Amino acid sequence: MPQVYNFAAGPAVLPAEVVKQVQQELTSYQKSGMSILEISHRSSLFTNLQTAAENDLRQLMQIPVDYDVLFLQGGATLQFTMTALNLAHKTGKIAFVDTGHWSQRAIQEASLLPDIKPTVIASGKESKFTALPDIPEISENFDYVHLTINNTIEGTMYHQLPVNLKHQSVVADMSSIILGYNYQVKDFDLIYAGAQKNIGPAGLTVVILKHELLKNIPDLPAMLSYPKQVKKNSTLNTPPVFAIYTAGLVFKWLLRQGGVAAMQQQNEIKAQLLYDEIANSKLYHSPVTVADRSLTNIPFVTGSKELDTEFVVRATEKGLLNLKGHRLVGGMRASLYNAMPLAGVKQLVEFMQQFEMNHEGVAK
């Protein structure tokens, strides 16, 4: 089968080494005679792999000892509700920074809860979400500020915590940038991330939260309660065993690569290669403000819907898959997560150059 490169925003590419190991171990995990798909979540086989996965994640992200780590289900979308139920119990007020589709979804979900008052303190709407908004000084008392760190659809990203949030309680959606950029966990009160971009297969959500947050949380249904999930070590019900197993393999792969700092360096090289090609061409254009550009999700357009469609079709024929942009913004989008090799980006750039030569005379 010819080499293909998967540029999907999620579920996304996994490290080839990890996929191969999964294949090798699938029929008999740890020589148990049982597949990883059928081992008990109460067995030592599972508890050992879960403990190893948590320890490796703590090492990769330098998670302080006063933070708990949860392996949950429901995706990042469930966390839109779960964070509000657990943490917005003092004032009932949550501050949101509106940076596009996924932050808007978080606002919508919180607004459905009784006694919760979502407030948008900054929005990128004026720029059509091609730039991150300035965040004003916050004088009002909020239970927390919600921030979408990387915007997969719009292609923007916070490279550091905004200054005016330094002394706020911050909840961060890191789904599409976790482990790809060296953020400091201590800057945030809670981090959540769906796994299917930089961690592993869909079905797992990682939550990292200050243990101090568990105080005074109201009594909630078990599956929606951080204190109850922490007390049961994420096993209130059958956890996503296979997804946690695969995530653990990805964590070990990341450690072998040199950790998050090394991955950030590689991601910067990959992203710059693609951004440079866009900037130097007469055909392609990136709508995103340079300072706010994402390392992992890069949208670009030709200015012609017909050419965009042709680009995606021809790229697919060359084994460059899932480059179609999100329906909200159109065009193309290349997602360059940790597992996307530099060779894949180089092949994409070569294809872009050839496609432009074949359409010479079409200006931006």
Q: What positions carry a catalytic annotation?
A: 102, 173, 197
HSE-up of 240 (CA within 13 Å, CB side)?
A: 21
Six token digits for residue 151: 């915007």
The CA distances from residue 131 to 125, 126, 152, 333, in Å, are: 9, 9, 13, 17
Confirm if 176 and 297 have CB atoms less than 8 A apart.
Answer: yes
Cα-Cα-Cα-Cα torsion 113, 117, 122, 123, nearest 10 degrees, comes to 40
- Classified as helix, coil or strand, 207 is strand
215 Cβ neighbours under 8 A, 6+ residues apart = none
273, 344 Cβ separation under 8 angstroms: no
Write the DSSP symbol of residue 133. Answer: P
Could you list the beta-strand ranges (E) of the chain.
Answer: 5-6, 67-72, 93-98, 117-123, 144-148, 150-151, 156-157, 170-173, 190-194, 205-210, 297-300, 320-321, 332-335
Q: How far apart are CA 170 and CA 279, in angstroms?
A: 35
